[in-house]
Amino acid sequence: MIFATLATDENERRAAQFLISSIRQYAGCYRDSQILMYSTSKETTYPFRDSSGNTSQIPLSEYPANAPYFFADKVQAWVQAEVLLENQTDTLVWIDPLCLVLREPGQFALLQDNAAAFRPVHIQNIGLSSQSPLDYFWQAIYDQCNTPRQTESVESFVDENSILPYFNTHCFSINPKLGVLRRTAQNLKDLTQNSQFVETCLSDHIHKIFLFQAVLSATVLSCCSLSKIQILTPDYSYPFHFQEKITLQKRITDLSKITTLVYEDFGNLEKLFQQLKSSEEIRSWYENLNSTLSPLDNNVTS
């Protein structure tokens, strides 16, 4: 199991320090796994603290800065990680910097014939009801990706809708030998070179934001059936930023019951330790790390 993440600004670089430390502290048998730390900064000498010495800092190569959709830099980091690890591992774990690993993340390990492990999206947003025909947006994506029409569904975690398979990308695992992430990037490139698709489907903010996620979902499903995708349990990619919208029956209020947590905004990091129950050990881990990160640690230095 090899982890990869991307930091694009100072808050994400600071968050990545918490992420790396949480892996080293709480990932169990995976605690010493290699971590690829991609950065959009040309400087790679930011002094990440890593007790294992097994974090590689890698500048992100060029990506389409003028792409008509969001997160082109993240997609490029996926591609670079997949190419680098193609012959090194069967399990590449992508995890956003604004996440924490709080228990051994064994469900990421791709065993038997599993090709990937994902959580369904938290909210439906641009997803389609499982009973709905494909709209122009999804039909164009399925056509580009050669994705079979889906007969199975998943449930969005927060708003609890039955939707066609559509996956969250805060954290997931995938076998880099399959080339899915490279195919995703190529499908995005081809789609956004179609002026009719761009004009018709990317005229609003929400479709620009989530296009990359929809294309990844369709590309994965063009390679394998839903039965080959491990659907992670709700303690993976648990969305603290949606805590008040999660039903009481599904809401997790104890950090010891969460495997990977996403908090979306750096300002939420302190809030989650105020609002969720935590052991003295994990609270001390957070407070000690937070206190030792001086303002200078927020800067990339040469």
Q: Which two tokens stand for residue 153?
A: 């569904």
Tell me which residue of 2, 5, 3, 17 sits closest to 288, measured CA to CA.
17
Rounded Cα gap, residues 115 and 298, in angstroms: 37
pLDDT tens-place string over residues 207-222: 999 999 999 999 999 9
pLDDT tens-place string over residues 244-287: 999 999 999 999 999 999 999 999 999 999 999 999 999 999 99
Instruction: Enter the pTM of the model.
Output: 0.94
Q: Which two tokens stand for residue 71?
A: 């997160």
Tell me which residue of 64, 295, 26, 51 sits closest to 190, measured CA to CA.
64
Pairing of strands 171-174, 92-95: antiparallel
Rounded Cα gap, residues 256 and 260, in angstroms: 10
Predicted confidence band at 173 (pLDDT cuts at 50, 70, 90)?
A: very high
Predicted confidence band at 206 (pLDDT cuts at 50, 70, 90)?
A: very high
Q: Residue 95: enclosing H or E segment and its boundaries?
A: strand 92-95
